Structure 1
Amino acid sequence: MNAASFWSRYLPVRGGAPIAAGEQFDLLRGFSIISLLIIGAVAIGLGSLSTRFLMTESLERDALLSAQFIQAVAIGEIRHHDLSGMQMGAVLAPSVYGMLNDETARNRGRARSEFLDHLAHLPDILLATIYSPERVVVWSTNPALVGRKIEGDTALDAAFTSGGRVSARYNEVQDGRIEQQFIHPPEEFFIENYIPLIDEQGNVLAMVEIYKEPVDLIERVNRGFRLIWMATALGGLAIYFGLFWIVWRASKLLASQQDQLVANKTYGGLVEMSTAVAHSMRNPLANIRTSAELAASMEGQPAGKNIADIVAQVDRMSIWVRDLLLCLRPLKGESEQVDLIGAVHAVLSSFEQQLTGSKVQVAFVSGPMPLVVSHQLLLAQVLNSVIANAIEAMPEGGRLDISTALSADGKTLNLSINDTGKGMTRQQEMMAFKSFYTTKLGGLGIGLIMVRQIMERFGGEVSLSSQEQAGTRVCLSFRVAG
């Protein structure tokens, strides 16, 4: 199997060809842009609708209150001046009634005067005008408009035909509107309200037109606008960042799973090739060793030293093949409760001669500890590998400190193995758990890989820290048996 066929087999494909890195869809970037546009558009739309609704409802509510107030004042003035049977609309237009006695005429005049005074002193008023059914101005706070007939005013006509309650909002004075002749021009927008004065049959006797600049209402509406836009912006940002965080986590998880999938496929291919190569090398190595031994047994062999070197190198390669097959073989063994302290003592006993020969002093003091979840034989393999590495790191002697510590929650038992060897560089420390990476001459670089596989197989962890000329520390974390 050549390299091209291998990678085309184990890398993700689309339409039969490997997916190039540039062709993959960037989920996080795509979501961040699209969701920002969608959430921004929705937030702006909701904010616009909310502010428009607030403005419309506020103006209609203000117009309704003004109409109710003026109509109540009109009824109150009629009752106050004992003008039963009359309507304020008729009082404002004297030609409606016939002859009146003096007292009734005086009461009628007072009622009209007081009603108009109320109109003139309404809060935030810019202009107040009263129209007769003929669209003639019978009274106005701007005396220049009195007696003028307004024609072609669709809003005024609509107010008479619909019974009033027609309101509109303006940002500036319209030159075509004759009646918009304010003594004091408005600072911001102003509103126009039509309030009908009707008789008992519902006929409009007079129409009151009021232009107002509701300063307090404007201030409240602006404050409402600010609150709405602030809430909309904060809500949109909260939704955006919440979804962004979820997609970010999902993207990281997908990327991790994709990397793991590619790694698993690649590792599977390597396992297949390595297993095939290792098994294929066994017989040639055995034949080479047998032939070398036969050649060495011949008398007067001039190349005896070279033959011995061949045997040594073949033996070393055989050890590599054995270790490689051991690493590639699936882990077998069910989890069981193991005495970690007893296992450490047993492994140290097996290394006693090597420790003495290497002049390595061992310090291991530990009290009674709970049993851990592991496997007796696999745990021995882990401890053998770590302690062997520590001894090899101290060729001129040193100290091996082994200690145990129980976590605060009592669920994890940590075993620390510290040596005083030459240590590792930062790069070597980062590469320590990489496959086939080693700093030892003649090593295969699978010892720590096997340690990590076994520890993770039973829910544990392994970590390594090292400093040059200061030694290395390996921490094995085991689950406490429940």
Structure 2
Amino acid sequence: MPRSEQQKLPAPVPAAERKGWPIQFNLLRWFSVGSFLIITVVALGLGFISTRFVVQESIERDSMLTAQFIQAIGAAEIRHASINPNRTMGEMLDPRDDNAYPDVDPGTRANARIEFLDHVEHLPDILLATVYALDRTVVWSTNPELIGVRIEDDDELDKSFEMKEAVSTSYHEIDDERPEQRLLREPDYLFIENYIPMFNADKSKVIAMVEIYKEPVDLVARIQRGFKAIWLATALGGAVIYLGLFWIVRRAATLLQSQQTQLIANETFVALGEMSSAVAHSLRNPLANIRSSAELAQEIASQSAQKNIGDIISQVDRMSRWVRELLVSLRPANDDSEAVDLMLAVDDTLSAFDALIKRSNVEVRFTPLAVEPIVSQRVLLTQILNSLFANALEAMPKGGVLTIEFDAAQAGYLSMTLSDTGKGMSAQQQQMVFKPFFTTKQGGLGVGLALVKRIMERFDGSVELTSREQEGTRVCLNFKVATGGEYGTQHTAGRG
């Protein structure tokens, strides 16, 4: 379809540029990068806090059970040895004080202590067990090398003696600078250090300290499984949130882009409409007078002047057509729709162009089909078909083939394809072809295809154009099918 050689009118300046707005803000790009970073940071933070919480709670729970177990063993041994119930196991642990309590037999005291320490030594998962006297001297240990060693400048041990809690716990790796950490074997993972205070009878003072180093294998395995579950859930949750928000923002960005484009187009048409209406109404009467005068002069003019007068009339007709097309293209939109017979509209348009088709030596291939009515307006549909047929015939001045095909494969829509064998368009021209006032046709105004696009979209349809230079152009119109009763009585299209 002839979309000829040059652009006659410059494209209007976009409204965004006129008003000084930012030309481009890529919402999708900024959101994809920004939200990814934010969600990643938040997910990592939540994962770290969750894993730390699981470790801390699990270890503290295990330590509390260990402390309760040891203190319960101590109380049981006091009762089993029939020692004065006002005495505690903490008072029995320092062998240097065996004679310090007259109400307790030294032998009984030693037996109770031995039984208690035997239970401590055989605790599950134990790496090292040590008992400290009040002066920080090791009075018993599963590592005999530590017995009799006095531990000084150990802040953790000093704090444990001062505290009133049931247990103090921490988890870490071997510290070679701490002499009391002479474990019987190297732990596979981390180990837990528990300070379990042994109180006097009224629980007002810590008089001995039981230190337990243990590697709870089952607890470590459970913690590792918890880590995997937490990080997997965090990763999946972050991914779901990111993809969900990305989908929403992508739709919003597409909608905003469409609305911005529509806003700029509407603003352009409004401004041009006001200007064009004034110009068109001012030109109509002078153009009519010029044509009438030229026709009168043609009747009495000499043979040599006939051609010049004919040129005047043809140029006046072209200008009148421009004015008419401009007014139609800038007319305010009317969204009232009706059911229109597309086949009848095409047949009427072919009849109207019959003389031009024969004169251009163009072969028309058109087979009418029985299809449902489409959603449009009779007058506007005629405008679309006239514009497309005129373009197609102008593209084939030396003859060619014009093919009209229909396809109802897409549910709810009817497609009409108009193909010509004209000179076609370049890729750059195809990108601009639906822009208002862009034309490649000598003497063209550039509103025909822009008007086709506006009308199709007004009634929920669409238009697609593909073309190759020297091979022809193909225009596909996708019409929405009129469902029964939705658009009232069916109207048929006719020449008008």
Q: Give me the TM-score of the superposition, normalised by structure 2.
A: 0.77
SS across alignment from 1:268: helix
CA contact 2:461–2:480 (8 Å) conserved in 1 = yes
Find the counterpart in structure 1 of residue 99 from structure 2.
95
1:186-265 alignment runs, 5 A limit: 189-197=190-198, 201-202=202-203, 206-265=208-267
Distance of 2:305 and 2:370 partners within structure 1: 59
- Aligned residues, how many? 466
SS across alignment from 1:267: helix
CA contact 2:139–2:148 (8 Å) conserved in 1 = yes
SS across alignment from 2:63: helix
Distance of 2:156 and 2:316 partners within structure 1: 108
SS across alignment from 1:95: coil
CA contact 2:88–2:199 (8 Å) conserved in 1 = yes
Find the counterpart in structure 1 of residue 462 from structure 2.
461
CA contact 1:460–1:477 (8 Å) conserved in 2 = yes
Find the counterpart in structure 2 of residue 376 from structure 1.
378
Distance of 1:49 and 1:332 partners within structure 2: 60
1:132-171 alignment runs, 5 A limit: 132-133=133-134, 135-148=136-149, 155-156=156-157, 158-160=159-161, 162=164, 164-171=166-173
CA contact 1:91–1:112 (8 Å) conserved in 2 = yes
Inter-CA distance 7–18: structure 2 relative to 1 (3 Å threshold)? farther
Greater displacement, 348-357 / 29-38: 29-38
Inter-CA distance 356–310: structure 2 relative to 1 (3 Å threshold)? closer
Distance of 1:352 and 1:289 partners within structure 2: 26
Residue type of the partner of 1:393?
A
Inter-CA distance 421–226: structure 2 relative to 1 (3 Å threshold)? same
Residue type of the partner of 1:474?
V
Find the counterpart in structure 2 of residue 315 from structure 1.
317
Inter-CA distance 424–237: structure 2 relative to 1 (3 Å threshold)? same
Inter-CA distance 332–199: structure 2 relative to 1 (3 Å threshold)? closer
Residue type of the partner of 2:407?
A
CA contact 2:16–2:22 (8 Å) conserved in 1 = no
Inter-CA distance 301–407: structure 2 relative to 1 (3 Å threshold)? closer
Find the counterpart in structure 2 of residue 450 from structure 1.
451
Q: Deviations over 1:229-281 (max 9, x none)?
A: 45434434443444344334433433433333233222322222233333333
Find the counterpart in structure 2 of residue 3 from structure 1.
none
Residue type of the partner of 1:402?
I
Find the counterpart in structure 1 of residue 438 from structure 2.
437
Inter-CA distance 25–448: structure 2 relative to 1 (3 Å threshold)? closer
1:387-398 alignment runs, 5 A limit: 387-398=389-400
Which of these residues, 324, 327, 330, is aligned with residue 328 of structure 1?
330
CA contact 1:125–1:213 (8 Å) conserved in 2 = yes
Distance of 1:348 and 1:303 partners within structure 2: 36
- CA shift, 1:60, in A, is 0.8
Distance of 1:333 and 1:18 partners within structure 2: 32
Inter-CA distance 240–264: structure 2 relative to 1 (3 Å threshold)? same
1:226-305 alignment runs, 5 A limit: 226-293=228-295, 296=298, 303-305=305-307
Inter-CA distance 150–387: structure 2 relative to 1 (3 Å threshold)? closer
Residue type of the partner of 1:95?
N
Unmatched 5+ stretches in structure 1: 1-5
SS across alignment from 2:99: helix
Unmatched 5+ stretches in structure 2: 1-11, 484-496
Distance of 2:348 and 2:325 partners within structure 1: 22
Greater displacement, 374-383 / 30-39: 30-39
Residue type of the partner of 2:127?
L
